[in-house]
Structure 1
Amino acid sequence: MASWIRRKPVADKTEFQAKIEHNLALASMGGVGFDRNAYGQYAVVPDGHQLQSLEKFQDRPNNIKTDHRFVSAKSFSEYLTRFFTDSMLITASSDKAQMYAVIDYHDADPECGVVLPSHGAHKAIYTARKTDKIKAWLSMCNTPLGQIDFGLFLEERAVDVIQPMAAEIMEMVMQFEATKKVEFKSSTRLADGSRQFSYVEDNQTRGGITLPDKIIVRAPIYQGMEPQDIKFLLRYRINEGSLKFIIKMHDEEEVLRDAFERCVDAVQHDVKPTQTVYWSSNRKTRAAGHSGAPEQQ
């Protein structure tokens, strides 16, 4: 039995039904009936037959169907500028650290304002990726570390640290090596926030070391973005005479969200003409022409 789709409203039933009946009659004779109306196109196909597209034989496809993916905000911006359309829609999600563009989004008729639906098949997706530097620091967060492991990590990543100074970091590393066999007894918080740890060695010699309560790292959070200062808190624990360290990024969720918003600012700054970015996940719409975007590396 032949079938059809895309019916007109009841008011046009007579005219529309006449066309259907004509095409059904054509289909009963082995032909294919086509029609176009304000609500789309349809075809009536005889039983046992299939309707085939000839698009692959055309010089060009009917529309662009792709979903290019980017890890660079600059490349994403350049792509959107190259394929810009008036109907382009750009959304951003700080939860996913991702921007999503539909270049051939639904448009509106400039004369009557009626929305003109689109297939929305031309897409571009930008996913902000963390840099190796910040991943190295985050990989050590919230995990208790012994003196030796913490000392080795600081020695390797000292180049990222701007506070304390590099010389102080290396002094800390040497202290960890010198006190790896002592028994820590107590700690005292000093006025500047640092902590002083008292220890005994061979149950006789007493001593102490002073350690900071935070480390400031300067590094880009997402690839292709400018470095920023990031605070990591240091927490200490004395467990059966051993000193354990815990690193934690201060206000991690807010820091990562702010870093992603810098990516969005960069994209919005670089796409020409400037586009509005709509935030998902309860973020506010970023108005067109927003200023203050950081420069790209």
Structure 2
Amino acid sequence: MTDTQTIPPGENPAETMRKVMEEIAHTDAVSFTELHKPGEPFLVSVPKGRTVQDLTPALHAIAERVKPFHRKGTARLETLASLVDWANRFKGDTSALFANPDMTAPSLTCIADYHDQGPGTIDPNSGDGTARHCHHRGLYKFPLSEEWKTWMKVSGQALEKDQMGEFIEANAKDVMDPTPAILGGKESDSHEPWENRLIRTAQQIEGRFGQLHQLLAMSKQFQVYETSDLKVSTNRDSGEAEIQFLNEHKTADGKPLNIPNLIIITIPVFQGGAPYRMPVRFRYRKSGATIRFILTVYNPEKAFEAAFEEAATEARDKTDLPLFYGTPES
């Protein structure tokens, strides 16, 4: 079925066609002041059979050329203080902090427009009143110190004698000689807390702290002589015999090898941060005529956790925002 137009009596076809076209092509002027509620759709009827089209996206795009409807984007801050200032500038009742304690890429994020607290209740007309876009964020990526990255890279790696010597010489500023209290190896109330902590660590792993000059001397002149002794034991009841080869490492003059197996380094976890004292295990491995040295930072996670928690707590206290450990919703 097709639409038809009846020509009134006394009116010519041209006049009738002009009136029909005016009716079909008629449109109403739209004022942008009517867009005071961006969340509501804006519908208009247009020609060509008077179909209805949703012009809301187009009108919003035009309106946002002058002023956005809501804040969005991520600011990347270079210092913790800047992250705190950014959060205090834009925070609201629903803002929150998220601390990501990843040892390889730690970060702290402030979401200015985070969801409101409490359970979400969905209204058929207005939706969830506690939901937010979570589009306005400030991000601070903690810069790991060069010292931290250097020691973590070499930790656990087998080094030749020359490699070990060059590494120690290049990073001698990070090595701390043990205090007399630490060399004594016994805890005491008169010691500093950090001294007792290092003494306990040495006792737990059966270690003994050495000094920088000892490590440098070993990297230049260290030689190991290996002797093998044969041990035979016999069970007189059964008559069974057991044979063992006992290998022992000695110095050039035949004395048993007795070397320190721990050193202390003092390095910051984060660039510009406070230094932390950490024990480093020193070991060597002999295979034939080849000797490899291994430096392993002992339990670096504790120093990292302490430094990260200190920074995250500082941000929480200076912004008075709730702090969550982890990553926010994507």
TM superposition score normalised by structure 2: 0.59
Q: Distance in 2 between matches of 1:145 and 1:108?
A: 54
SS in 2 for 1:54: helix
> 1:134 is matched with which residue?
148
Change over 3 Å in CA distance of 1:28–1:219 after alignment to 2: farther
Q: Is the 8 A contact 1:172 1:211 kept in 2?
A: no
Residue 174 of structure 2, aligned match among 126, 137, 160: 160
- Alignment of 1:75 onto 2:82: yes
* Alpha-carbon displacement from aligned partner over 1:192-246 (angstroms, at most 9, x marks no partner): xxxx95244xxxx656764322222111101232111122222221121333221
Task: Please tell me whether the aligned partners of residues 94 and 260 of structure 1 are also in contact (alpha carbons under 8 angstroms).
Answer: yes
- Corresponding residue of 1:211: 259
Alignment of 1:123-272 (within 5 A): 123-164=137-178, 168-179=211-222, 182-185=223-226, 198-200=250-252, 206=254, 210-271=258-319
Structure 1, residues 102-133: CA drift from partner, whole Å, max 9, x if none? 11223479xxxx83433222101122221001
Mapped contact 1:184–1:241 kept (Cα < 8 A): no
Structure 1 Cα separation of the partners of residues 274 and 291 of structure 2: 36
Q: Once the 2 structures are TM-superposed, how far is the Cα of residue 72 of structure 1 from its aligned partner?
A: 2.3
Using the alignment, how far apart are the partners of 2:156 and 2:27 within structure 1? 72
Q: Report if the CA contact (8 A) 2:43-2:54 is conserved.
A: no
Equivalent of 1:120, from 134, 153, 162?
134
Give the equivalent residue in structure 2 for 1:106. 115
Residue 90 (structure 2) pairs with residue 90 (structure 1): no
Q: Percent same amino acid among aligned pairs?
A: 19
1:121-162: CA deviation from partner (whole Å, max 9, x where unpaired):
210112222100111111111110112111111111111112
Equivalent AA in structure 2 for residue 170 of structure 1 = H
Query: Closer, same or farther in 2 for the Cα pair 1:207/1:29, shift >3 Å?
Result: farther
CA spacing shift, 1:146–1:254, aligned 2, 3 Å: same
The 3-state SS of whatever aligns with 2:151 is helix
* Structure 1 residues 97 and 154: CA distance shift in structure 2, 3 A: same
| Partner AA of 1:67 in structure 2 | T
For residues 275 and 131 of structure 1, the distance between their equivalents in structure 2, rounded to whole angstroms, comes to 27
SS in structure 1 at match of 2:279: strand
The residue identity in structure 2 corresponding to 1:80 is A
4+ runs of 1 displaced by more than 4 Å?
27-39, 45-50, 205-210
TM-score calculated relative to the size of structure 1? 0.65
Distance in 1 separating the partners of 2:292 and 2:117: 62
Shift of 1:39: 11
What is the root-mean-square deviation in Å for CA atoms of aligned residues? 3.9
Residues 271-286 of structure 1 mapped to structure 2, 5 A cutoff? 271=319, 274-280=320-326
- Call closer, same or farther: CA 1:138–1:184 in 2, change over 3 Å: farther
Change (3 A) 1:270 1:220: farther
- The number of residues matched between the two structures is 236
1:41 aligns to what? 40
Deviation at 1:75, TM superposition (A): 2.0
Larger Rg: 2
Q: Tell me by how many angstroms 1:61 deviates.
A: 3.0
CA distance in 1, matches of 2:289, 2:255: 14
Unpaired runs of at least 5, structure 2: 1-23, 47-52, 119-127, 180-209, 228-247
SS in structure 2 at match of 1:63: coil
On the 8 A contact 1:217/1:232 being kept in 2, the answer is yes
1:29 Cα deviation after fit:
6.1
